[in-house]
Structure 1
Amino acid sequence: MVQPRPVRVFAVSSGKGGVGKTNVSVNLGVCLNELGHHVALMDADMGLANVDVLLGLQPKYNLSHLLSGERSLEEIIVEGPGGLKVVPGSSGLQRMSELTVGEQAGVIRAFSEIGSDIDVLIVDTAAGISGSVVNFARACQEIFLVVCDEPTSMTDAYAFIKLLNRDYGVFRFQILANMVPDERQGLALYTKLCKVTDRYLDVALNYLGAIPQDDYLKKSVQRQGPVSLLYPQSKSAQAFRALARKAEALPMSDAVSGRLEFFVERMIEYSSAAAL
């Protein structure tokens, strides 16, 4: 019997909005596809889902149609640029906590089946520390925390790390500096964050690198496409490729959750517990 290949599940999160988190998710997915991976991007911003807008997609169905049983996962997935598979978001997390046992089994089975077609799932969470963001982040194997050079970004990133560490025992975070002038500034932000966490928390922060400020990134947003495809020679596109190489090199930390259905089981468990 052929064993299903392990699936990597990455959450892309931020303490505050406006730091370019969804752009990171999209371009990371495209660049991982370029490296030979099969990537799905789940838009988990349950209030302001915007992956489809950023990519110029017009999905007919979304996650809520899967949770209600109206559509299969295969039916709601939209083919994005560069071979990226997109699971459109909806205000579906509360519904997830209300699923019957039979519905839970159906959702888990749906993700299990798609798990045979992909080896990376990127979960683009909402910004902040709401219950839904925390639940999605906890269910993933790795948390990519996007920060930028703004005081509110850094303080909110620390609050995010503190909550997940002290209340839920999350120990490891991957830090990505976005919209910075250069690599030196990105490393300075990481160092600043480490000084605070080393003093007050028992966590391990890993530096993933920096995405530079880039006019081509703005142009790609206006054109509703990934900068890594529209302007592949730009500085930001090159930085996203470096990020993808670092992401694929991260060790598989949890063998049990190497199958995609474990991610969904965790989501249902955490959502149901939060609803009690």
Structure 2
Amino acid sequence: MSAEYVSVQPPVALRGRVLRLLGYREHASAPRRRRQPAAGGVALILGLHPLTLSGPALGTATADAFVGAPSDTWVLTEFTGPQAGVQVDLTPAAAFTVLGGRALRGGAVPRLDELHDPTLAALPARLAAEPTWAGRFALVNALLAERLLDPRARVVAPEVCWAWDRLLATDGRVGVAELAAGTGWSKRHLQSRFRDQVGLTPGTARRVLRFGRAAGLVGRGSDPLAGIAAACGYADQAHLTREFRALASCDVQGGCPVRGR
């Protein structure tokens, strides 16, 4: 396995909405598989070579350029041979503006050519024709800036942004009723608007963010599982174990390899 990764900060005007830009070039002589666990963020994959994806929400599919939407389930990716492209990590609010709500269906992995967005669908071919990482990042940043800085762009409702920020700040340890009260909306209305603009309901987002914190603590390998379960709001260690199996398809006690690029 040979690999090259180039990570850069987004332009200042896009920071806080664009979380990371990662250029990657890999070559695997044998099948290379990665587990992508449930996550609340959005990964825009501008890939140049086909990748096989499989999981409970999509069965098995092949794609090169696609959207890793917020999800409460896991996906396996696999390839042999070359892989290259640019990965753009976005907040859900930024993804709604750049990609539209169609791309944020929880558990889905829509290909770019399914989003009815010719400019976005053409971007991977433009990246393939550009010989340098600097040039590729410039193309991506130009499209992001055009959409995120446009005062006429579609945006997430302020109430949804507030609810997401509260969930993120507490790692999912805030109730839906409290979120609804803070927005001034009913629980039902909050759930509907949040799902349309983030891709998950607030309750599911709570679960995914709580898992994300637990996975980070487990990855350190220094804390007892019972203590992690208590710190993250699980009923007990068995509850934590069940969530790892459901959201990452692995056993937390077996050194679960929860990872991406």
**Fold conserved between structures, TM > 0.5:** no
TM-score of the aligned structures, taking structure 2 as reference length:
0.27
Normalised to the residue count of structure 1, the TM-score between the two structures is 0.26
Q: Quick check: which one's strand share is greater?
A: 2
Bigger-Rg structure (1/2): 2
